Structure 1
Amino acid sequence: MSQQDTIYSKALPSVGDFRFDEHVVEVFPDMINRSVPGYATIIQTLPQLAERYSQNNTNVYDLGCSLGAATLALRKGCEKSQGNQIIAVDNSQPMIDRARLHLQGFKSDIPVTFNCENVQDTSIENASIVVLNFTLQFVPKEDRNALIQKIYSGLNPGGVLLVAEKVAHTDKHIHDTLVELHHDFKRANGYSELEISQKRAAIENVMKIDSLDTHFARFQDAGFAHSGVWLQCFNFVAMMAVKGE
């Protein structure tokens, strides 16, 4: 059972960069559900999307798998397909270790392979589904175009890329309003002003967000035939990009 997130509840002499370490692993489910509006809906919808887009005898990738919530959802959605395997990737060994434990509690004939590496180093091949669930925002900006291009090249025709991200709005008034709504969401979930402030300071150097226009231009440049938003809550957006048949 997840512990409550109290990592930033006390004033710190200095706030270091956010890291997905053992402390975050212990509180991650509580942290993400109290911090990311729409997260539960994204996870709950992944099985439906996986059932729609999974192809027999193909690979399904969860890039930036954290504790395996999306991996489990994808495995559920692929149950009607044949010959699938899921490849779950994260560059945090503590996350990988805990994800393996989580998956042991759910029986399935669909094999899951965990790889501890940067997603930029992951080979994508014979893929029908690739998920980047709040992962791209932590990839260096200069590596993002190449990563999306690699995913496109490794997807089979008709395959889908599912990307969930925090995004920036090009209109400053709208952007600032959405940021405040997000902070209100955190306050309503019990986070104090100190926690909100210190978490923001910790993450601003490691999470660099893009605008929706940047995401869609990247999908188009890579060659995707279709792309769009399938869920948005404040400044958190779930997108899909489909490779042409």
Structure 2
Amino acid sequence: MKDNVKPGEKWEFNDEVARCFKNMLERSIPDYQSMRALSYELGTRFVQPDTLIVDAGCSTGMAVEPFVERFKDTNDFLLIDNSPAMAAASKDRFSEYPGVEVRAGNLWENLPLRDTASLVLSVLSLQFMPTAYRQSMISAIYESLAPGGAFIFVEKIVSENMDDLMVELYYDMKRRNGYSEEQIMDKRRSLENVLSPLKPEWNVDMLRTAGFDKVDMFWRCLNFCGWIAVK
């Protein structure tokens, strides 16, 4: 379904967004397919048999879907999202997979799981959480991981020195992908005080403060970054 969402005053991940979410991401995230492919290829290197794979902020389940297809016979899955519409979409997507549990609720109500996960994904999700809570959430994710487990973390960021240029290029990309000027500005206004990106180094600092001693950026395009952190 094509993204023609008319956002309200404050952005919501509602049923309408859930229905067109795939198209929205493909047209709104630069180098989207490469990010997805790299997240999967990296993540598979760290999956341990008989452990959980967790998607923290699962949306409609697209990020974790290739892991479910590959590891459904050796691993269980826990998917968490605080949007009832997104959680319902994930439940529908994985309704025939008994090893996939989907919970609608906040991350802090479901984590940590104490050394039971070998892989945790957070793809474009913590950026919607109040900044005051993010360190505690990343620390909870660290505690949830078994030794040798990995955290795949993808976020929108604020560029250190050329943020205006990165944003300008980002909006040019959205125009090329068919979004009108009105759509771009409406979504920007709707996301104010809902999406709060941080500088890349601040995200790295939170990962290290949580206890991760192996942290590296595996992907960046314009004002979006992906990190892998290993316990």
Q: Shorter-chain TM-score: what band?
A: over 0.9
Which contiguous aligned blocks of 4+ residues in structure 1 show a shift greater than 6 angstroms?
Answer: none
SS at match of 1:147: helix
Contact 2:56 / 2:122 at 8 angstroms: preserved in 1?
yes
TM-score normalised according to structure 1 size: 0.88
SS at match of 2:173: helix
Work out which of the two has the higher radius of gyration on C-alpha atoms and give 1 or 2: 1
Unaligned ranges ≥5, structure 2: none
Q: Which residue of 1 aligns with 2:2?
A: 4
- Counterparts of 1:33 and 1:181 in 2: how far apart (Å)? 16
- Counterparts of 1:47 and 1:77 in 2: how far apart (Å)? 11
Q: Which residue of 2 aligns with 1:203?
A: 191
Superposed, 1:99-110 pairs within 5 Å as 99-104=90-95
- Counterparts of 1:212 and 1:77 in 2: how far apart (Å)? 31
1:151 aligns with 2:141: yes
- Counterparts of 1:154 and 1:7 in 2: how far apart (Å)? 36
Partner amino acid for 1:155? Answer: L
C-alpha RMSD over aligned residues? 1.7
SS at match of 2:204: helix
SS at match of 2:184: helix
Superposed, 1:1-245 pairs within 5 Å as 3-8=1-6, 15-78=8-71, 83-104=74-95, 111-125=99-113, 126-171=116-161, 174-243=162-231
Contact 2:39 / 2:152 at 8 angstroms: preserved in 1?
no
Aligned residues: percent identity? 31
Count of aligned residue pairs for this structure pair = 229
Question: Shift of the alpha carbon at 1:205?
Answer: 1.5
- Counterparts of 1:191 and 1:223 in 2: how far apart (Å)? 41
Partner amino acid for 1:157? Answer: P
SS at match of 1:19: coil
SS at match of 1:163: strand
Please give the per-residue CA displacement for 1:172-213, whole angstroms capped at 9, x wherever unaligned. xx1111101100110000001101000000011200011111
SS at match of 2:63: helix
SS at match of 2:45: helix
Contact 1:48 / 1:77 at 8 angstroms: preserved in 2?
no
TM-score normalised according to structure 2 size: 0.93
Contact 2:118 / 2:145 at 8 angstroms: preserved in 1?
yes
Question: Shift of the alpha carbon at 1:222?
Answer: 1.0
